[in-house]
């Protein structure tokens, strides 16, 4: 057997074997008792925008496309979701301390304004997740309003951001 065939069959065998090692899925409830909607008003329009553009990576529930069943793609996406939830988890938002809530509202507005969210890698496949200017403005205004509300309610936390 030629060297190229040995390499090909070895890679094929590895690809087949790794299919049996699947990451744990993020399949909890998107809405929990600590959900952001229990903390602040989230209009139906805003809730829909977040469901389409944010929640797959920033909640306790991800809607997985078919290609996540193929490794190593599934591992890569699982890592993406894990990182997103570490940054902000809308399903657990109400469990955050006041300073963290303030910081997260600020970061939401900033990331959207700088067009860093949703991630370009997410938008490659999820074209409908791209925010229109009006959707981005709605999200930024909502985040800024919530940050200001917290600053008014907890003025001692402002200087400690």
Query: For every one of its 161 residues, what pLDDT tens digit does the chain have, with 9 covering 90 and above?
Result: 888 888 988 888 888 887 888 878 877 775 678 889 888 989 999 999 999 999 999 999 888 888 888 888 888 888 888 999 999 999 999 999 999 999 999 999 999 999 999 988 888 888 899 999 999 999 999 999 999 999 988 888 776 44
What are the angstrom distances between the C-alpha of 50 and each of 103, 122, 135? Answer: 18, 14, 10
d(CA 63, CA 112): 22
What the block records as the tokens of 139 is: 């999200």
d(CA 93, CA 78): 20
Q: First CA to last CA across the chain, in angstroms?
A: 65
Q: Can you give the pTM of this predicted structure?
A: 0.82
């Amino acid at each position: 057997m030629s060297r190229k065939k040995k390499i090909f069959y070895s890679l094929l065998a590895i690809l087949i074997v790794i299919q049996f090692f699947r990451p744990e899925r993020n399949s909890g409830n998107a809405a929990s008792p600590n959900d952001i909607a229990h903390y602040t008003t989230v209009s139906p329009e805003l809730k829909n925008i977040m469901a389409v553009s944010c929640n797959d990576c920033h909640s306790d529930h991800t809607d997985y496309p078919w290609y996540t069943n193929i490794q190593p793609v599934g591992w890569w996406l699982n890592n993406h979701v894990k990182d997103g939830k570490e940054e902000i988890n809308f399903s657990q938002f109400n469990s955050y301390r006041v300073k963290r809530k303030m910081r997260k509202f600020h970061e939401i507005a900033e990331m959207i304004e700088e067009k860093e969210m949703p991630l370009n890698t997410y938008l490659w496949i999820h074209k409908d997740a791209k925010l229109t200017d009006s959707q981005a403005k709605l999200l930024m205004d909502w985040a800024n309003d919530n940050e200001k509300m917290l600053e008014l309610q907890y003025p001692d936390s402002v200087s400690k951001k």
